[in-house]
Amino acid sequence: MPTLNGPVLLMTDLSARCDRALDRASSLAKSSGVKLIVLHVMDAHWLTRLARADWQAQQAHHVQQARARLRDDLIDDSLDIEILVETGNTLEVIEQVAVNHHCSLIVSGTARDETLGRMVLGNTVQRLARRINVPLLVVRQRAHHSYDRVVVASDFSKGAARALTSAHEIFSQAAITVYHAFDEVAGIYELDQPSVQEEIKARHQLADAFVQESLSSAPASLSVLVEQGQVTDRLPAMVEQESIRLVAVGTQGASGVMRMAMGSVAEALLERLPCDVLLVPQAAA
């Protein structure tokens, strides 16, 4: 059972792909006994406003349709739901709603290049992850199962520690695996097998120390896994093999996947991971 101390904020572009995020957000809010806030932002471009004299009427009609669509999708008498349809800059509106309502989690669907709306939502997710102080859950899979096992990607940085802390606090009943991958040692790219095993052992000790420093009391179900190889290859393979449903990643750290800039490694992981991803900013613990 998840533990959330504030509302869950679901951002949606009303596309069918967001239905998975809707189901997961509803499940998390209901299990935690918190409000679900469903937010749809209309970011009408100023050129569109200039081109259409009736844009205000069109906007009002869009708001009415959006509210009706969301009410149809959110029929659950046991869940405290608030529907918001706002106009403005998407990032600013999401951030403002999250702050004003003291949200403890933001939930989003994934994005593909199938429609313009989904592309915009995808860009919003990446930009939002750089500036918010609230964990962001990107949902890929259907919410048929709870998160019974959570993998936390770690480079032993403060950002990774925040990811571990948040994952443990939110999903306290889940078995947690701290995952670390390395592809070089002090500039040496190719190691013989004995050296690889020695390095794995050394990094396993670092991981154990990382867990002790990050958590005041590590659960008995917590485990550590260290592998050699590119994290963008090894972690997705491990997730698929073990049928992992959630990976937690810090958005600021020493390098690579944990860096605040959401660079190529992070983007590659978001693209390649077949499961849901919890993005945890360093300031979000």
Sequence-separated (6 or more) residues with CB below 8 Å from residue 206: 156, 180
Sequence-separated (6 or more) residues with CB below 8 Å from residue 50: none
pLDDT in tens, the chain (285 residues): 678 889 999 988 776 667 889 899 999 999 999 999 999 887 755 445 555 555 566 666 666 776 676 666 666 667 888 888 888 888 889 999 999 999 999 999 876 544 444 444 567 777 777 778 899 999 988 888 899 999 999 988 888 899 999 999 999 889 999 999 988 665 555 667 778 889 899 999 999 999 999 998 878 889 999 998 888 899 999 999 999 999 998 876 444 343 334 445 666 777 788 999 998 886 654
Beta-bridged to residue 179, according to DSSP, are: 153, 225
- For each of the domains in the chain, give its residue range(s) and CATH number, in order of start: 8-139 (3.40.50.620), 149-284 (3.40.50.620)
Judge whether 225 and 180 are in contact, CB under 8 Å.
yes
Beta-strand ranges (E) seen in 93-162 are 105-109, 136-139, 149-153
CA distance 188 to 184: 6
